[in-house]
Amino acid sequence: MGKEPGKQRLLGGRYRLMSPLGRDGAGIMWRAHDLRLRRDVSIKEVQPPFRGGGADLGHARRRALREARSAGRLSHPAVISVHDLLEDRGRLWIVMEMLEALTLRETVGHLGHLPVRWTAWIGFQLLAGLRHAHEAGVLHRDINPGNILLTGERVVLTDFGIAALNGDPGVSTTVPINCSAAYVAPERLRGMPASPAADLWSFGASLYFAVEGSAPYPESGALSALERAAAGEPAPPVRAGTLRPVLEGLLRRDPAERVTADQAARLLSQVLRTEGMVVGPSRLPVTRLPPGPFTM
């Protein structure tokens, strides 16, 4: 990092890097402290991909701007809050709220699979944030269990790095290589543009993973993207119980036959009431947690 031993790096004269939190496909996440507002934040150090033997700084800049602008125009408890975007010594840094959380993927990895009531609660909260994004014209395009954070009180959708504005003709229809085909809607694998319905398919595939303990299609190795696009319906869920109609409605291959966000919200509300949980209007976050913690 180019800093003196024992001395923490200061970004933009304001954010002091403290320790790395982890790495995703686009960069390194850091714990940092905002000296101006005296609060801890998380900061993504956007790392450029290497193309033709060199770093593609233009691609990294476009991705960082897209992520910051897409998430920055949203304000919802189920969407990560972006505070700032800065460039320091030739690198881009995205400043976000600090969350002590596990991803849905990590949580299922610890527990094997989640009970129906937890999965329905996660889905109900996450769907509220996704509907908010769609109403603001933002398509996420990369919903998967690794981009869903669980804090014990909130369910938060993060990583808007390949998000796009709905209807933007300049957005590529190509599925990025780092997207898992298991969570990409069939029509996108066939080259069709992203849409709210495609986000809903990915949302349904993530809920399937939560309650079943595995993705609706193999996550790696067994199927290429083209084979996945031509594959039949996913295996019927066996642990989903009252969630089964929700999953089957969201995972329909034809986007015209897929349930809408409003329909999915009503179905999830019914599941939660059947499970004995009190829920508010479908556009508001649930305020009562399900019985028992689901973070480790």
Q: Which residues are known to be catalytic? A: 142
| Contact between 168 and 128 (Cβ < 8 Å) | no
Q: Rounded to an integer, what distance in angstroms lies between the CA atom of residue 107 and that of residue 294?
A: 7
Beta carbons within 10 angstroms of residue 35's beta carbon: 12
User: What is residue 293's DSSP assignment?
Assistant: -
What type of residue is 159? D
Total count of residues recorded for the chain: 296
Cα 211–chain centre separation? 17
Structure tokens at 84: 């700032």
DSSP string, 15-80: EEEEEEEEEETTEEEEEEEETTTTEEEEEEEE---EETTEE-HHHHHHHHHHHHHHHHT---TTBP
Alpha helices in the chain (DSSP H): 57-72, 104-111, 116-135, 186-189, 196-212, 225-230, 244-250, 261-274
B/e letters for 7-18, b = 16+ CB within 10 Å, e = fewer, are eebebeeebebe
Strand partners, 247: none
